[in-house]
Structure formats: C-alpha cells, structure tokens
Structure 1
Amino acid sequence: MRFLTRGLVGLLLLAIMASTISYGVYRVYVAMNKEEASRRSPVSERTYAVNAAGLVAETVTPVTTAYGQIESWRSLEIRASSEGLLVGVASKFRDGASVLGGELLVRIDPADAQSGLLDAQAGLADAEAQKAEADEAIVVAEQELDAARKQQVLRRQALDRQLQLREKGYSTMVQVEQEQLSLAALEQAMSNRLQSAITARKKIERMELVVERAQISVEDAKRTLEETTITAPFAGTLDQVNGTLGRRVTPSETLAVLIDPTALEVRFSVSTGQFSRFLDENGSLIQVPIVAELDLGERTISIPGTLDRAAAVVAAGEAGRSLYASLDVSPDTALRPGDFVTVKLEEPALDNVVVIPASAASEDGRILVVGDDDRLEDARVRVLRRMGDELVVADVPFGRVYVRERLPHLGAGLKVTPRLVDEDATAPALGSEKPLPEVAEDLVVLEPARRDALIARLNKSRIPEDRKAQLLDLLKQPEVSAKLVDRLESGGQRGGERS
C-alpha cells in the first residue's frame, strides 16, 4: 500500500514537472515571435532617384562632323627660262620662306641672252636695210615703166603716120613693117618693165614680213634677257626649293614651288546620307558655313569657310561624296597644304525637335518618361541626328519629363523620384500633362574665416580632383548652398571622430 502511494506521488510530480517545462517552452516561443514581429518594419515599394529633364520643343541647327585635308588651289612652279649659271640667289630663296609679289628670287647669267639680243637686233637692222633697198628699187622700176609707156605712145603715133603715108603713096610697106617691129619690141620691153615693178612690189611685201620677224626675234631676245631675272609673281610661301649659287640650270627646270597662303581650301568626304542634307529641292549644293579645326595639341585653331562645290567624279571604291570648302584665311595663317583638319558643317535648321543625351535613348529609339504617380513609361521617338554624345529627336511627347540616363535597372512601371538637372526644365511647357517638380535650394553667406576653414577641409579630403575643383568653385561664390556647408562640416566632424 505504501509502495503504491509513493508511485502515484512520483507520477504526479513527474506530470507537474512536464507541464511546467511545456508551459515554459510555450512562453519562450511566444516571446520570441512577439519580438521578431515588433522588429519587422512594414514593407514599402522601392523608388529610384533619376536625373530628369523636360521635353521642350526647340529649333536646332545640327552640325555634321567630317575629316579632310587642306589643299591649295593656287600654286605655281617656278622654272628656269633658259640655260645658264645662277649668278644671284635671294637670301629668302629657301623652303618655307615667305616672299612678296615682284621680289627677286634668282638671277641666271645673262651673257647668252645678251648675245642673242644683239644678234636679233643685227638681223632687224639688216632686214630694215633690205626693205629700204627694195623701196628704192620699186621707184626705179616704176620710172622705167613710165618711160616705156611714153615710148610706146610715140611708136604707135609713128606707125599711124606711116600707115597714112602708105595710103597716100608716100611710104613703102617696108617702112610700115619696121615701125610695127619697133612697136612690138617696145611692148615686149614694157612687159618686162611691168614684171620688174611687180617683182619689186612683192619684194617690199616680203621684206616687210622679214622686218616683222626680225622685230619678233628682238622682242623674244629681250624677253629671254628679262627672264634671266626671276621674281615672285605673287606673294606666297616657297616649297621644294632647288637652286644654289653657281649651279647650272637647264630650260624649264623646276627651281621651286610658290604657294599662295590665302588660296587654301579643304577637301573632305561625307556619306551619301550626309551629302543629301546639303542639297536643295532642285538637287543643287547649298552654300552653308563651315568651320575647319586644326588640332595643335593644347591649342585648336578654328578657320571659318563656306561649302563651295562637290568633286567632279566619285573615285573607284569610294563611298559617299568628296566636297570642297573655301577658307577665309589671312596671309599669316598657321594652316598649310597637307594638314588634316576636322570640318564642322552647319545643316539646315530643324524645327519642333529636342536635343537629348545619347544615354537617354535605347538603340531602337525608346526613352523613359515620367507618368502619373511618378511611374516610368516607354515612349518611342524618331532619331534625326547623332551629334557626339547627343541626339536630335522628333515625334516626342512635348511637355513631359524624361529620364536623361536609361540605366539597365530602369524600366516601364517603376516608381522614381525625378531630379531636374538643367535650368530649362524648371519651367513646364504650356499644356503639359504633368507639372515639372520645382527645385529649391537654401543659400547662405559665409564668413571669411568659415569659408577658409571649409576650403582647407576640402583640400585635405580624398575626393577626386575634378569633383574637388567643382566644390571649390562653389565655395568661392558669394552665396553657398546650405546643404553643401552642412555636408562638409558634418563630414569633417565625423572624420575627426574617426581619427
């Protein structure tokens, strides 16, 4: 009986202990669930901050960029006109030297040219003497012809008298025949005198031609003598100089090339699509302004000009068109034929378009616009031009706000917080579907000591140099952003605590 009582009491105590342990485990479980539930925050939708701008219609003048080479349309080869020694060479007669129009370049030995001139002058004097002799000969021939004509008249009169006397019986037939023979002989002599006069006249004409040829020879000899002194026909720069004192030159030998520095143009190539932008309705080339830029390392020289003409033919294997543009250069320009330059051409203006960053659009021309409840929407635009890092687009939803950077994690339906990054987007366009958010910033005036402390703190920081330069420019302004000041001061304090 006592054993049974003790067994029941042990079972009861065991049951009480198991119940107590179960209750403790239950309380611990409930407490842990409550603590986890209290720590868990309510779930909210994630939003992304994006750089945005407004789509405002504007008129844009696109710029086409091409690459070309400088050429000279006025260059002259200076050649020797005769053979001889170079007895004079100008000090400027060297590559790259600038000369003025009419300035002496080289002088060829004039001895041969002077001898040729004297010979031509002697020939002219001889021709003039022969012409004078022919003039005197024609006078004598004409006098003899006149005398023969008078004798003919007298002989004809004598023949007539003999015929009259023969009719009256006072003369014989023999006397008549003698007069006839004398008249025939005189007529023959007169024919010879006439032929001599004609020959004398023709000789005068021939001598006049001989004199003209002699005069031409004299002029040629004078010109040859003058050409022994070679001068610059126009102001320019010398190139390929090949002449030294004492050197013998041959006729038509090239001594140098004279280039006019003001007669420069640029030849460049464009694609067929780009070429079509510079044609009017009739297919004629438009004279648009251009700018040629010569890159000299740290310096770039810009030369204005005008689109002039297109190349006459398309070279084999060449695509597009080759164009020429005249340049407005001064004589002291730094451009030289052969320079490679960047050519920028102004295209006709485009109306009702928008210029956006290239990063804002996808390859197929889609951009993200901010819709109702700050959610992104896809919009397709038509890309008209690509200008470096910018695009000129049309068929856009004017008045809406678009995302300037189409990042990979952004897509239609996401909720964003737009931040305007340009001044033009702070004012919404008329009739916009969604008003643009306003950007307000508090500005404070810094005391000199506080400004110097902030600048010193910024110089000690480890931020990138370009960002540091931008912040320094902002700190030097009369009014500085309060957020910037707080960020710099709080950053410095935290840095001091970490140190």
Structure 2
Amino acid sequence: MRFLRRGLSGLFLIFLTLALLVMAGQTLRDAVQDRMSRDARMPEARERLFSVNVTTAEAADVIPVLTAYGQVQSRRTLEIRAATGGTVQEIAPEFVEGGSVTEGQVLVRIDPAAAQDTLARAQADARDAAAEARDAAVALDLARAELLAAEDQTALRERAALRQRDIAARGIGSDAAVETAELAASAARQAVLARRQAIAQAEARLAQSETRQERAAITLAEAERRLEDTVIRARFSGVLTGVSLVEGGLVSANEQLGQLIDPDSLDVAFRVSTAQHGRLLDPQGRLADLPVRVRLEAFGMDLLSRGRLTRDNATVAEGQSGRLIYAALDDPGGLKPGDFVTVEVDEPALSDVVRLPGSAMDSAGTVLALGEGDRLEVLPVTLLRRQGNDILVAAAGLEGREIVTRRTPLLGAGIGVRPLRATDAPDDQALAAPAAPELLELTAERRARLVAFVEGNTRMPAEMRSRLLAQLQADRVPAAVVQRLEQRIGG
C-alpha cells in the first residue's frame, strides 16, 4: 500500500508539472502575439542645441598688412681690388674680416719701387719733349727771319735787274750785264723758295714736338696714377668682409682683396605675387611709398627695423613668378646683409570692412549668422584680405549681425544653437590673454657659463649682446632665452 501511495503521488506531481508547463507556454504565446499586434510607438524627439561662439560684426577702416619673407642686402658694396701687381708692403690693422674703416683710410700699400722707376722715366721723357718743343719753336722763328731776309734780297735783285735792262735799252749797258742781273734775281727767288721750305719743315717739327709732348704728358699721368694705385684707400666708411691678404704676399693686377660694405645703407628684397604687387601701386601705376617693418627673431628677441618701399625689379627672371620688391631700411638696428627676415608692409587702408576669424568662413565663401529664434542663417561674404588667422570681408549685409566664429560640419542653415557671447564669459579675456614668459632662477655656474658664451660670440651684434648680458644679470631670466643659448652651446 505504501508503494502504491507513493507511485500515485509521483504521477500526480508529474501531471501537475506538465500542466504548469503547458500554462506557461500558452501565456508566453499570448504575450508574443499581443506584442506583435500592437502599433509601433516612436519616442518623442527633442531638438539638439549646439553651443557656438559668436561675435558681432562691426564695420571699420582697416589697414591691411602684407606679410612676406625676404633677405637683407647691402645697397652700397665695393670690391677692393689691386689696380697694380706687386708685393704687399703694409696692411692696416683694421684690414681684417669684420674690421671697421673710415673714408680715405689707407688699407694696403704695395711696393712702389717699380712704379717710382716708371714715373722717373716718364718725367725724363716729358722734359726731353719740352726741350724738343722749345728747339722746334726757335728753329721756326729763325726760318721765318731767314725768309724775310731772302725776300728783301730778292727785291734788291729784281730792282738791279730792272735797272740793267733800262741801261741796256738806252744803249749804254751790255747784254752780259743784264743777264748777270737777271740770273742774280732768279737765284734770289730760288733762295726764297728754299726758306719757305725750311719754314714748312720747322712747322712740321714743331707739330711733332707738340704731339710728342702730349704723349709724354699722358705717359707721365699714367705713371703717376700707377704710383697712386700702390696705395689702396677706403672709398667710404664701412665694414670689411671676404678679406684674404697677408703682409709680404704677392698680388696681381685686378686681384680681389676683399669687400667693403656700408652697414648703414641696407635694403631688403622680398618677392610677392602679382596680385599683391598690384595692391601696392599708386593710381599712376608706380610703386607707392608705403611703410615697411622688418623683423628678425634671434635668441627670443626680435630685431625690428623700419623702412619704406623704394623700387621693384624691372624684369621677371626666367623661371620666377611674381614681383621682386626692394625696401630701404631707415635704421638697420643690428641687421646684417644675408639675414632672412619677415617683412610687413602696410597696404592702403580699406574702408567699411569687418574683421572675422578665418575659421568663420567656409570654402564656398559663406558665414553663419544668428537669426530669429537663435537659428543659423547662411550669408555670402566678399573676402578682401587674409591677415594671419583673421579675414577681412566687406561689411555689406554683415554689419550688426552676430557671426559664428568657428564653422563645424554639424552646423548649417536652420539649426538651433546656444550662442556664447564675450559678455557671457567675462573670464574668457583672462584665459585668452597671453601668458607671461616663464622665468628661471639660475645658479652661479649656469649663469657664468651663459655669460661667457655671449661675451665670446663675436658674430653677435653689439646691441643684441648688451641686451642679453643685461637679461642674464637679472635675478630671474626668461626661460626661452636660456633655452636658446644652451642649444647654441650644446647645453
């Protein structure tokens, strides 16, 4: 009985489990059918607002700045050459690389012995020519006096012959006397011709002596110049470069001994595009007299010089494009020929323009403006200039509008935004302000090492050297200056 009771209990539990499983399956099937028969319900969408920085477009008169890169050149350079060959007898102490000389200073003396001998011979030849000219003049005077005497004698002989003919016509004289008188007159006339020939020869001798005297004077002047050429002087005050000469060396004629550069007469040559060149012309089509700023970065400090546009190249070199422009520097301020510098030219002022960040405009020449309901509008603009990271556009249709300063692919026409203005974030100016240069406190050994390097660098301009030494003597030194100096010395 116990076995039967347990068996029936087990069967009951099995059937109960199966019934529960069937009920669960039926419930799951009904739930799936009910879910599939329902209509799809979409969640309510909310518009996404993007935060954008905006700036108010304000029209103003702006002076565009054209930026280019050029090279400093000397406007006044002289090649020092030996006009005559010989042995170098004397060299000025300043005739070295980088030496400063003054106008008229003697730089080099070449052995003048050969030139002095040539000058002495030329002087002797000149004295001989002068003596010959005096002799020729005296001979001409004597020949003219002899001609006068011969003419007087001829006149006497003619009168004697005429008298003998008269006597013979009266039957008193003889024919032989007449013939003798006529022969004497003929001989007198022949003597006049001889004297005239002597005068012609004396005049030719005088002309030849004058020519010889002129040749002697030319030779003498040339000898004097050759003697003067043995002394080489500075044509103007300047600095020497390319010096390659030692005392006692032998130089040949026209050999280059160095170059003399005027450090106060410098130009900067820079190349611009044809369009940029057109903006620098005046109404007459000539290069306008515009101010120029030249900047050279060195050791964390900028060497700044000012000047003005002076001229442009007459032709375009083969293989080049654009235009080559020259500007004269008013004060070089430590610049040297050969320096590569940044050139900034103030163009003629533009009126009624708006300055915007360059990221505000896309490639199609449009900007996004804030419209009604803080929704964006697309506005076309006319680009006038690019100024570094900014752009200058025409103010027509933009003045007073709030412009998005930075375009992104997510922004477009009709999109709602949350504008961020400069007045909404007063701390932005403090964040945008340039950080003060980092200062370092140097140890005595480190400071002495840097000072010794600056003092021993002879190629550094004196003005820059003095400024660096003043900075190094301070308690705290800019980190950029220290880094640049240590890079130069391998620190």
Do the aligned partners of residues 440 and 341 (structure 1) sit closer, same or farther apart at CA in structure 2, a change above 3 Å counting? closer
In 1: Cα distance, 2:317 partner to 2:426 partner: 60
Which whole-Å deviations, capped at 9, do the CAs of 1:306-343 have from their partners, x for residues lacking one?
A: 2222212212222222222222235xx42222221222
Name the SS for the 2:94 alignment partner. Answer: coil
What stretches of structure 2 of length at least 5 have no aligned partner? 1-43, 439-491
Do the aligned partners of residues 354 and 468 (structure 1) sit closer, same or farther apart at CA in structure 2, a change above 3 Å counting? closer
TM-score, normalised to structure 2, is 0.74
Name the SS for the 1:113 alignment partner. Answer: helix
Name the SS for the 1:69 alignment partner. Answer: strand
Shift of 1:282: 4.0
Q: For the aligned residues, what is the CA RMSD?
A: 2.5
2:292 aligned to 290, 293, 297, which one? 290
In 2: Cα distance, 1:287 partner to 1:171 partner: 108
2:159 aligned to 157, 176, 181, which one? 157
In 2: Cα distance, 1:370 partner to 1:82 partner: 81
Shift of 1:92: 1.3
Which residue number corresponds to residue 223 of structure 1? 225
Shift of 1:467: 9.0
- Within 5 A, what are the aligned runs for 1:185-264? 185-264=187-266
Which residue number corresponds to residue 306 of structure 1? 308
Deviating more after overlay: 293-302 vs 177-186: 293-302
Matching of residue 369 in structure 1 with residue 351 in structure 2: no
Which residue number corresponds to residue 10 of structure 2? none
Shift of 1:248: 1.0
Which residue number corresponds to residue 385 of structure 2? 385
Name the SS for the 2:348 alignment partner. Answer: coil
Name the SS for the 1:414 alignment partner. Answer: coil
In 2: Cα distance, 1:236 partner to 1:156 partner: 84
Which residue number corresponds to residue 3 of structure 1? none
Which residue number corresponds to residue 353 of structure 1? 353
Shift of 1:187: 0.9
Which residue number corresponds to residue 463 of structure 2? none
Kept after mapping to 2: 8 A contact 1:104/1:229:
yes
Which residue number corresponds to residue 146 of structure 2? 144
- Within 5 A, what are the aligned runs for 1:311-322? 311-322=313-324
In 1: Cα distance, 2:383 partner to 2:416 partner: 26
1:111 aligned to 110, 113, 129, which one? 113
Shift of 1:290: 1.7
Which residue number corresponds to residue 339 of structure 1? 339
One-letter code of the match for 1:254? Q
Shift of 1:368: 1.6
Do the aligned partners of residues 469 and 254 (structure 1) sit closer, same or farther apart at CA in structure 2, a change above 3 Å counting? closer
Which residue number corresponds to residue 419 of structure 2? 418
1:57 aligned to 49, 56, 59, which one? 59
Which whole-Å deviations, capped at 9, do the CAs of 1:204-227 have from their partners, x for residues lacking one?
A: 232223223222322222222122
Do the aligned partners of residues 174 and 358 (structure 1) sit closer, same or farther apart at CA in structure 2, a change above 3 Å counting? same
Name the SS for the 2:287 alignment partner. Answer: coil
In 1: Cα distance, 2:361 partner to 2:54 partner: 13
Paired positions, count: 390
Name the SS for the 2:263 alignment partner. Answer: coil
In 2: Cα distance, 1:280 partner to 1:328 partner: 22
Kept after mapping to 2: 8 A contact 1:55/1:396:
no
Name the SS for the 2:90 alignment partner. Answer: strand
Name the SS for the 1:136 alignment partner. Answer: helix
In 1: Cα distance, 2:420 partner to 2:102 partner: 63
- Within 5 A, what are the aligned runs for 1:118-137? 118-137=120-139
Do the aligned partners of residues 312 and 440 (structure 1) sit closer, same or farther apart at CA in structure 2, a change above 3 Å counting? closer
Name the SS for the 1:354 alignment partner. Answer: strand
Deviating more after overlay: 232-241 vs 208-217: 208-217
Do the aligned partners of residues 102 and 161 (structure 1) sit closer, same or farther apart at CA in structure 2, a change above 3 Å counting? same
Question: Percent identity among equivalent residues?
Answer: 42
Do the aligned partners of residues 440 and 51 (structure 1) sit closer, same or farther apart at CA in structure 2, a change above 3 Å counting? closer
Shift of 1:201: 2.5
In 1: Cα distance, 2:100 partner to 2:230 partner: 22
Do the aligned partners of residues 286 and 469 (structure 1) sit closer, same or farther apart at CA in structure 2, a change above 3 Å counting? closer
Do the aligned partners of residues 234 and 469 (structure 1) sit closer, same or farther apart at CA in structure 2, a change above 3 Å counting? closer
In 2: Cα distance, 1:441 partner to 1:305 partner: 40
One-letter code of the match for 2:98? G
Shift of 1:466: 9.3
Moved segments of 4+, more than 4 Å: 42-46, 438-442, 465-470
Name the SS for the 1:126 alignment partner. Answer: helix
Do the aligned partners of residues 292 and 144 (structure 1) sit closer, same or farther apart at CA in structure 2, a change above 3 Å counting? same
What stretches of structure 1 of length at least 5 have no aligned partner? 1-41, 422-437, 443-464, 473-499
One-letter code of the match for 1:381? V
In 2: Cα distance, 1:375 partner to 1:231 partner: 79
In 2: Cα distance, 1:100 partner to 1:250 partner: 25
Shift of 1:89: 0.5
In 1: Cα distance, 2:150 partner to 2:435 partner: 119
Do the aligned partners of residues 304 and 254 (structure 1) sit closer, same or farther apart at CA in structure 2, a change above 3 Å counting? same
Name the SS for the 1:87 alignment partner. Answer: strand
In 2: Cα distance, 1:264 partner to 1:399 partner: 47
Which residue number corresponds to residue 477 of structure 1? none
In 2: Cα distance, 1:132 partner to 1:281 partner: 70
Which whole-Å deviations, capped at 9, do the CAs of 1:326-378 have from their partners, x for residues lacking one?
A: 22235xx4222222122212222111110100111112122121122222222
Deviating more after overlay: 169-178 vs 43-52: 43-52
Kept after mapping to 2: 8 A contact 1:275/1:321:
yes
TM-score, normalised to structure 1, is 0.73
Do the aligned partners of residues 466 and 374 (structure 1) sit closer, same or farther apart at CA in structure 2, a change above 3 Å counting? closer
Do the aligned partners of residues 368 and 296 (structure 1) sit closer, same or farther apart at CA in structure 2, a change above 3 Å counting? same
Shift of 1:46: 4.4
